[in-house]
Structure 1
Amino acid sequence: MASKDLPPLTAPFFPNVFFNNQFCAKPVWPPATTNLSDQVAIITGGNAGLGFECASQLLSLHLSHLILAVRSLDKGEAAAAKLRALHPTATIEVWQLDMSSYDSIQAFAKRVENHLPRLDIAILNAGIMPMNFAAVPTTGHEETIQVNYLSTVLLTILLLPSLKAKSPPGVPGRLTIVNAALSLIPQLPSAKDTPFLKFYDNPDNFDSNGNYCMSKLLAHAFLYKLIDYVCADDVVVNLADPAYVKGTKLVRDAHGPAKAGLAVFGAVTGRTVKVGASTFVDAAVLKGKESHGCFLMNWKIQPFNASLYTPDGKQAIEQSVNLRRRHAKIP
């Protein structure tokens, strides 16, 4: 059953969901026969952390052509050099992509359209969790909501035609958006509330964890509606939660006691980067059409955030999925 057809989770996130995610769930690894020869994949934010590990795992499955989509070409090339040394027969390219820039996103999608004869997989891993408020100069929006939601949604929509047209006949393209179990915590803002973006664009309302959780919840709302327009026969789109993973750079802006506390918390409770990245491979390679429009947590299809199932939530979904068009001014 699809996520929207499942009953919402009623167990408290802490400790129930978190404990199960971190200590009880068992990884699902690709069968030894899994072979991605001739396939082409894109990974955003693939130069470090979960993105780099996901790239390594795909290449270990004989992926033929990998594109690391990164903001810093120097860091991307350094990561690509490491991967090329381990997988010398694969073609590994580094393409520039700045997720805070609509121009960069559109240029990247156009490059995919014009220069790739084939595209099988796109894993949208790039995301941020800044500790301090910052607005993206070109849009005026708070950068967590901008990068994790607005820009990710835009890139998703722009890549869908290429994934449909450039995958082999009869085989749907695959697009996985990296999400988080923390998306289950907040409630979708009511359509009657203060204009959504204005609230988050106000530095007085900034909350690092709260903004991050909301950016991931908004991806649920987007996918909930997207499957009304995208068929699984064309492109399978899903969300994948890696759970809490130690050793990534997601909270690299943390300093002092907060940084030390997060390091200890990660050491005690965190999954390894290898296990965390395996959830992306599972979502983009192993799962089939049954995962279209689904939130995957612990390698299984799970319900969306509970607020999406309410009458107010369904009304708010309509509002949230229109944010990109109205505020980015992109048709």
Structure 2
Amino acid sequence: MDYMSILTFFYSQLFVTPKYPEQSCKGQVYIVTGANTGLGFEASRHLVRLGADRVILACRNLEKGEAAVKDIEKSTGRAGVAEVWSLDLSSFESVKEFAKKVDTLPRIDAIVENAGISTEKFKLFEGNESTITVNVISTFLLALLVLPALKRSSQKHNIQPRLTIVASEVHHWTDLPERKKGDSIFDTLATPELSEMGQRYPVSKLMDVFCTRALVERTTSSYPVIINTMNPGFCYSELSREFNGFAFRLLYKLLARTTEVGSRTLVAAALASHDTHGQYMSDCMVEEPSKFVRSGEGRKTQERVWSELSAKLEAIQPGILKNI
């Protein structure tokens, strides 16, 4: 564990408040996944408030999504802007169907991939451990499937759309121990007796940072889409609903940001400049990722993770890597 990151975490939670979003989004179109609750919901509210023409809330539970839309309309006074689309990241077919709908949009200014899960209970989705399926495989399946639509928007409207992957500062707190336990990282993560589920959420977020960096390394400096990853900080969220220990609840009460304050970081990444392409953002600014990510061993691990993920994505959707 990088102990300096622990100090940075406490400083950020106690003394840094991300800036309230004020930038106009007039005429623009946004997609936010995992948007019926938590950070995605509050980010969607901000985007509607900032004047966006259309904000698509991608949700697994449509009923909760419709309730979120009504709440956003009531608080912003803007009806007919937010809408709900179905997306279940535990299903590759759901991701593919969602991406087909995205492909019909005439304009997209940003897609914020916020949806994720945190659990210490081992189970399989689509043949992989559930956290890895949702937070990594489906997240990048969607990312690569929507890149052609984002690039078309860039050309048609002379804009630089953003693709934002929501990671976390907890990626600092792991070095992916499963990398040492077998030839295949993903196979090891899908094997109960080899898995360290207490570290699974940090591992998934480390893999998100790795894969964002690896993806961007395969683009050019003039790439028409800004791809970044970011840390919202420790926030009140349903993501932590499985964790009810006294120590965690005390930490939550003392340190957690409100969901609205945390959501400002998502909006900042969705509106960020080209300087953030391939970068990790924290507190709305570009920051260095973990020491492990920047190390020689981290570099090797990144290439292993990307190679294995690429093979999985090609198996799910042949030819998908050509979308980059």
* Normalised TM-score (structure 2): 0.90
Q: After TM superposition, list the pairs within 5 Å mapping 1:112-151 onto structure 2.
A: 112-114=102-104, 116-136=105-125, 139-151=126-138
Q: How many Å separate the matches in 1 of 2:295 and 2:243? A: 36
Q: How many Å separate the matches in 2 of 1:141 and 1:219? A: 16
Shift of 1:220: 1.3
Higher helix share: 2
| Secondary structure of 2:20 counterpart | coil
Q: Is the 8 A contact 1:51 1:125 kept in 2?
A: yes
Shift of 1:316: 1.9
Deviations 1:297-316 (A, max 9, x none): 12221112222333332222
1:97 aligns with 2:110: no
Gaps of 5+ in 2: 319-324
Q: How many Å separate the matches in 1 of 2:44 and 2:157? A: 25
Residue identity opposite 1:69 in structure 2 = A
Q: In the alignment, what sits opposite 1:4? A: none
Shift of 1:207: 3.7
Q: After TM superposition, list the pairs within 5 Å mapping 1:153-232 onto structure 2.
A: 153-167=140-154, 169-188=157-176, 193-194=181-182, 195-231=184-220
Q: How many Å separate the matches in 2 of 1:104 and 1:209? A: 28
Q: In the alignment, what sits opposite 1:3? A: none
Deviations 1:273-306 (A, max 9, x none): 1110000111111x20001101101222111222
Q: Is the 8 A contact 1:172 1:235 kept in 2?
A: yes
Q: Is the 8 A contact 2:161 2:224 kept in 1?
A: yes
Query: In the superposition, relative to structure 1, how do residues 27 and 191 fare at CA in structure 2: closer, same or farther (>3 Å)?
Result: closer
Q: In the alignment, what sits opposite 1:30? A: 21
Q: How many Å separate the matches in 2 of 1:166 and 1:177? A: 19
Q: Is the 8 A contact 1:190 1:312 kept in 2?
A: no
Q: Is the 8 A contact 2:165 2:212 kept in 1?
A: no
1:75 aligns with 2:61: no
Name the structure, 1 or 2, with higher relative contact order (CA <8 Å, separation 6+): 1
Identical columns (%): 31
Q: In the alignment, what sits opposite 2:321? A: none
Query: In the superposition, relative to structure 1, how do residues 282 and 254 fare at CA in structure 2: closer, same or farther (>3 Å)?
Result: same
Query: In the superposition, relative to structure 1, how do residues 237 and 163 fare at CA in structure 2: closer, same or farther (>3 Å)?
Result: same
1:272 aligns with 2:258: yes
Shift of 1:219: 1.1
Residue identity opposite 1:250 in structure 2 = L
1:237 aligns with 2:237: no
Gaps of 5+ in 1: 1-8
Shift of 1:236: 0.6
Residue identity opposite 2:141 in structure 1 = L
Match of 1:305 among 290, 294, 301: 290
Q: In the alignment, what sits opposite 2:322? A: none
Q: In the alignment, what sits opposite 2:36? A: 47
Q: How many Å separate the matches in 2 of 1:324 and 1:84? A: 39
Q: After TM superposition, list the pairs within 5 Å mapping 1:11-26 onto structure 2.
A: 12-14=4-6, 16-26=7-17
Q: Does 186-195 or 209-218 show the bigger shift?
A: 186-195
Residue identity opposite 2:17 in structure 1 = K
**CA RMSD across the alignment:** 2.1
| Secondary structure of 2:103 counterpart | helix
Q: How many Å separate the matches in 2 of 1:52 and 1:63? A: 15
Deviations 1:3-41 (A, max 9, x none): xxxxxx975233x1221221122322234xx21111110
| Secondary structure of 2:228 counterpart | strand
Residue identity opposite 2:175 in structure 1 = Q
Deviations 1:168-192 (A, max 9, x none): 5331111111110001111145866
Q: After TM superposition, list the pairs within 5 Å mapping 1:254-293 onto structure 2.
A: 254-255=243-244, 258=245, 260-285=246-271, 287-293=272-278
Query: In the superposition, relative to structure 1, how do residues 133 and 11 fare at CA in structure 2: closer, same or farther (>3 Å)?
Result: closer
